[in-house]
Amino acid sequence: MPLGELDGWTIATHLSRTGARLADRGMRAYAERLAAAAVLRRAADLVGPMRAATRAVSEVMREPHQGELDVERTLENITGKDFPDVDDWVVTRRQERRQQVVLMMDTSLSMSGEKMALAAVATAVLALKMQGRDLAVVTFDDKAKAISRLGADDPPEEVVRLMLEQPVRGYTNIAAALEVGAAELERGRNPRRAGLLITDGVYTVGPDPVPLAARFPRLFVLLTEDYKMNPGLCRSMADQARGDVFPVKSFQELPRRMLDVANLVLR
């Protein structure tokens, strides 16, 4: 079917299929833009209105309208005083609760086709929930690389485009993913940092990944369930890093599951 007659989602599901890679750079860039737009629409429909996670902060009032007056703490400060001090007035305001996250996504040959498109939607869900500079994305097959780095401030559409342009090939090296992901996260300065790993727990090359999981302050594993999965390995990795395992019954469920996990991790 001619490219112009395809919808963006159909393109997204075909970009990674063997033999479907477009040789013409211009045509491929056009296809990636259409696919990325379709992926983002699906993610935005799932996420809904953007509401950043916040926390309540109490502080001395330095200027009018700084926040809502904390009546209880202010009364405690001024009780017994003839004239309140300037520092006695306390206000409460909402402050964005930032978190730095590295997402590690399998792009080995088994991810070809619709799986890769759904993985891109899941990545977009996370990107829409966070500030760009606080999110890093690592893709892995035989090797691993950071396609979007902490501090880069890539917008969600760029993160999705980078995901969709990855060649789907090779074997699965979870240890390489954890090594690159941990190194990326160690660049961060926010004490609230975590890794998210999407895997079935089966590695076909590389060493045992469990010891590397201990490098993460927290590590959450989204376990994509199938007949060859290794839930024991996923649990061991999460336990090494004070994290948890979240079963994903099918790839169609992955974007919704990512939203659940993002809401938990980012709160």
Q: Give residue 79's pLDDT.
A: 82
Q: Give residue 20's pLDDT.
A: 59
User: Does residue 2 sit within a domain?
Assistant: no
User: Does residue 158 sit within a domain?
Assistant: yes
Q: Give residue 55's pLDDT.
A: 55
Q: Give residue 5's pLDDT.
A: 47
Answer yes or no: do 124 and 172 share one domain: yes
> What is the overall mean pLDDT for the chain?
86
Q: Give residue 248's pLDDT.
A: 96
**CB within 8 Å of 220: residues ≥ 6 apart:** 194, 195, 196, 197, 238, 243, 244, 245, 246, 261, 265
The b-or-e profile of 83-97 (16+ CB within 10 A means b, else e) is eeeeebbbbbeeeee
Q: Give residue 23's pLDDT.
A: 65
Q: Give residue 237's pLDDT.
A: 97
Answer yes or no: do 91 and 102 share one domain: no
Q: Give residue 39's pLDDT.
A: 93
Q: What residues make up the domain containing 72? A: 54-96
User: Looking at the 3D structure of the chain, how many domains does it have?
Assistant: 2
Instruction: Kindly give the parts of the chain with pLDDT less than 70.
Output: 1-6, 18-24, 50-67, 91, 93-97
Answer yes or no: do 42 and 59 share one domain: no
